[in-house]
């Protein structure tokens, strides 16, 4: 670590604003986390000069909406949860709250594909917890034994001293192998594109860990919460999702418009952030040689590690431990008449035990209005993830072939799509492996030692859009506190 730099606790109050100079902040990474950090920083320190460095040619990071003819295509995220409310609140602040739309009403929303058959996800399932018995008993997805083991979770004793446990171990222990393989693994894989044998329960589903600890059983906990009026315990999570009617780029554009004074440097790959002299009150940091009073690293952990390595190898080492997975999205634009079945669900998820190459088929036009014309269907096929990362490097035509074959198998497709497109997200999804929270704590503590350095982004405390916005906001809050 650079010994010129005083630890934050020993910092003598030579604050930026005491110098009378306009405080200068650099935000590295122009994804939703970095833009949120810029937004909240500007809100709190209106006279700040903020520069956003972004290696890509545009702001927004993975968030990007494309319009092609009547089709509105999301190239990555297509919706966000309203609870936690950070994304919703930001939209309200930005004046785009009225542009948010809810998911369309349909009977059965999600399906599970096994072989040639698709089964509705039993109603009342809250992520992995069955909150209603009858839909499980009626489902053709599980065997009699599988159902009784799934619903018999109330009889399984809680672990006396649970350590951080993988999703796979936790789910099999509580609900049995069959429910895990056929329901829980595909449901969770779709969200984290992770290897469930490595995915940390504490980092991703702490709520369920707490339920076991407090109530002995997740089913009992859900029942208890429902009795106390917790709407999340009903299993109706789709009601909690929203998307801007014009797609996710609406959020990015609104943020950019709310930041007219910031200096945006796109096509600028930052390679080094270093601590300058501790004795001068301003200019504590250098971003590739340019002076700043404070910086927020809103880049993926590996990129942040490489930038900070020279200044703090310990921090860089901890950051490097957070690995990522890649995925590809194949877009299929189809005439509705080409589908052999009038599929009205939101999508189909495929268990790993099915042995296929597709994680999920998401029917964008069944989820949200305005994604294409009535006589058209817009489908996004997810391929890759931690369990099959090699697939992402297949050529476009191969990926399209895989997507079409899966659609044909599950729904039936006649003829060629109107058009197809492929988007690859390489090393974009951080993997919250066992021990992730301890690592994040270590990163936060080590970061705290540097005055004027903050981190934000999806690598740490949540991959969803609300968590990313929250990370940007709290980085700005900490920066403000440090400046006062
Ligand atoms: C395919 C996919 C589907 C998803 N679906 C959903 C969903 O439906 N709902 C949801 O809530 N979440 C979803 N997510 C997750 C969510 O979209 C992301 O976690 C979030 O957008 C990440 O934002 P970020 O700003 O932290 O990172 P990013 O968007 O990755 O932004 C980081 C930025 O840093 C830049 N950068 C990196 N290194 C440097 C450098 N050295 N110098 C300068 N710039 C640099 C990058 O170019 C990038 O623009 C999805 C993610 C993916 C990939």
The whole-number pLDDT of residue 281 equals 56
CA of 463 to the centre of ligand 1 (A): 9
From the alpha carbon of 32, which atom of ligand 1 is closest?
25
129 and 226 share one domain: yes
391 and 408 share one domain: yes
| pLDDT over 50 (residue 448) | yes
* Residue 119 domain-assigned (yes or no): no
* Residue 112 domain-assigned (yes or no): no
- The overall average pLDDT reported for the chain is 92
30 and 161 share one domain: no
132 and 225 share one domain: yes
- CATH number of the domain enclosing 91: 3.90.660.20
From the alpha carbon of 456, which atom of ligand 1 is closest?
26
Q: To test the ligand 1 pocket, which listed residue (38, 40, 76) has its Cβ within 8 A of the most ligand atoms? A: 76
Query: In the chain, what percentage of residues exceed pLDDT 70?
Result: 92
* Residue 117 domain-assigned (yes or no): no
pLDDT grade, residue 137 (50/70/90)? Answer: very high
375 and 422 share one domain: yes
| pLDDT over 90 (residue 7) | no
- CATH number of the domain enclosing 35: 3.50.50.60
* Residue 67 domain-assigned (yes or no): no
The whole-number pLDDT of residue 226 equals 80
| pLDDT over 80 (residue 185) | yes
219 and 278 share one domain: no
256 and 285 share one domain: yes
The whole-number pLDDT of residue 463 equals 97
* Residue 94 domain-assigned (yes or no): yes
Structural domain harbouring 385: 79-106+324-430
261 and 207 share one domain: no
Closest C-alpha among 117, 207, 215, 113 to residue 167: 207
Mean pLDDT check: name the lowest of 27-36, 79-88, 161-170, 240-249.
Answer: 161-170
- CATH number of the domain enclosing 170: 1.10.3110.10
362 and 287 share one domain: no
* Residue 449 domain-assigned (yes or no): yes
* Residue 243 domain-assigned (yes or no): no
From the alpha carbon of 34, which atom of ligand 1 is closest?
25
CA of 444 to the centre of ligand 1 (A): 20
The whole-number pLDDT of residue 225 equals 84
333 and 318 share one domain: no
317 and 441 share one domain: yes
**3-class SS string, the chain:** CCCCCCCHHHCCCCCCHHHCCCCEEEEECCEHHHHHHHHHHHHHCCCCEEEEECCCCCCECCCCEEEECCEEEECCCCCEECCCCHHHHHHHHHCCHHHEEECCCCCCCEEEEECCEEEECCCCEECCEECCHHHHHHCCCCCHHHHHHHHHHHHCCCCCCCCCCEHHHHHHHHHCHHHHHHHHHHHHHHHHCCCCCCEEHHHHCHHHHHHHHHHCCHHHHHHHHHHCCCHHHHCCHHHHEEEECCCCHHHHHHHHHCCCCCEEECCCCCCCEEECCCCCCCCCEEECCEEECEEEECCCHHHHHHHHCCCCHHHHHHHHCCCEEEEEEEEEEEEHHHECCCCCCCEEECCHHHCCCEEEEEEHHHHCCCCCCCCEEEEEEEEECHHHHHHHHCCHHHHHHHHHHHHHHHCCECCCCCEEEEEEEEEEEECCECCHHHHHHHHHHHHHCCCCEEECCCCCCCCCHHHHHHHHHHHHHHHHHHHC
Is 152 touching ligand 1 by the criterion CB < 6 Å?
no
* Nearest Cα residue to atom 1 of ligand 1: 76
pLDDT grade, residue 276 (50/70/90)? Answer: confident
The whole-number pLDDT of residue 22 equals 84
* Nearest Cα residue to atom 35 of ligand 1: 29
CA of 459 to the centre of ligand 1 (A): 9
Give pLDDT tens digits for 344-353: 999 999 999 9
Of the residues 430, 452, 468, the one at which a domain ends = 430
CA of 269 to the centre of ligand 1 (A): 16
The whole-number pLDDT of residue 237 equals 67
Give the count of domains, the chain: 3
Give pLDDT tens digits for 417-440: 999 999 999 999 999 999 999 999
* Residue 167 domain-assigned (yes or no): yes
Contacts of 348 (CB under 8 A, 6+ apart): 110, 111, 112, 113, 118, 360, 361, 410
Q: Write down the pTM of the prediction.
A: 0.94
444 and 412 share one domain: no
Q: Given the DSSP bridges, would you call strands 294-297 and 24-28 parallel, antiparallel or unpaired? A: parallel
Average pLDDT of the residues in 272-301: 86
* Nearest Cα residue to atom 49 of ligand 1: 61
Of the residues 235, 261, 295, the one at which a domain ends = 235
Is 462 touching ligand 1 by the criterion CB < 6 Å?
no
Contacts of 336 (CB under 8 A, 6+ apart): 342, 374, 375, 376, 377
Average pLDDT of the residues in 94-106: 95
Is 225 touching ligand 1 by the criterion CB < 6 Å?
no
Give pLDDT tens digits for 291-307: 999 999 999 999 999 99
Give pLDDT tens digits for 222-264: 998 887 766 555 455 678 899 999 999 999 999 999 999 999 9
The whole-number pLDDT of residue 232 equals 54
């Amino acid at each position: 670590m650079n010994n010129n730099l005083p630890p934050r606790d020993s910092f003598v109050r030579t604050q930026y604003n005491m110098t009378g100079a306009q405080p200068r902040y650099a935000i590295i990474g122009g994804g939703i986390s970095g833009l949120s950090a810029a937004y909240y920083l500007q809100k709190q320190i209106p006279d700040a000069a903020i520069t956003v460095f972004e290696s890509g040619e545009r702001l927004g990071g993975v968030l990007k909406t494309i319009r092609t003819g009547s089709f509105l295509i999301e190239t990555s995220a297509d919706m966000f949860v309203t609870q936690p409310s950070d994304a919703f609140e930001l939209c309200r602040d930005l004046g785009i709250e009225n542009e948010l739309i809810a998911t369309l009403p349909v009977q059965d929303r999600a399906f599970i594909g096994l072989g040639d058959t698709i089964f509705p996800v039993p109603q009342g399932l809250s992520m992995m917890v069955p909150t209603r018995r009858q839909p499980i008993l009626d489902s053709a997805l599980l065997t009699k034994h599988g159902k009784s083991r799934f619903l018999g979770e109330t009889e399984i004793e809680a672990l006396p001293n649970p350590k951080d446990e993988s999703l796979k171990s936790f789910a099999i222990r509580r609900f049995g192998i069959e429910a895990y393989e056929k329901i829980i693994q595909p449901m969770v894989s779709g969200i984290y594109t992770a290897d469930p044998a490595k995915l940390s329960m504490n980092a991703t589903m702490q709520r369920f860990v707490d339920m076991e600890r407090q109530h002995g059983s997740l089913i009992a906990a859900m029942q208890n919460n429902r009795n106390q009026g917790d709407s999340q315990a009903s299993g109706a999570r789709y009601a909690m999702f929203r998307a801007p009617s014009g797609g996710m780029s609406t959020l990015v554009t609104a943020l950019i418009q709310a930041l007219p004074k910031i200096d945006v440097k796109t096509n600028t790959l930052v390679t080094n952030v270093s601590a300058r002299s501790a004795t001068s009150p301003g200019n504590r940091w250098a971003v590739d040689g340019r002076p700043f009073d404070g910086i927020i690293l809103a880049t993926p952990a590996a990129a942040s590690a490489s930038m900070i390595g020279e200044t703090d190898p310990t921090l860089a080492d901890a950051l490097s431990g957070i690995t990522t997975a890649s995925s590809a999205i194949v877009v299929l634009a189809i005439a509705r008449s080409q589908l052999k079945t009038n599929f009205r669900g939101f999508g189909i998820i495929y268990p790993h035990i099915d042995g296929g190459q597709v994680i999920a088929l998401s029917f964008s036009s069944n989820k949200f209005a305005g994604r294409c014309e009535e006589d058209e269907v817009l489908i996004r096929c997810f391929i890759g993830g931690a369990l099959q990362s090699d697939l992402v490097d297949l050529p476009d035509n191969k990926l399209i072939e895989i997507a079409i074959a899966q659609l044909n198998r599950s729904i039936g497709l006649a003829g060629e799509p109107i058009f197809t497109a492929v988007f690859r997200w390489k090393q974009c999804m951080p993997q919250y492996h066992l021990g992730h929270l301890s690592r994040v704590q270590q990163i936060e503590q080590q970061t705290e030692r540097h005055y004027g350095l903050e981190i934000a982004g999806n690598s740490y405390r949540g991959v969803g859009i609300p968590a990313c916005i929250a990370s940007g906001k709290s980085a700005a809050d900490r920066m403000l506190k440090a400046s006062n």
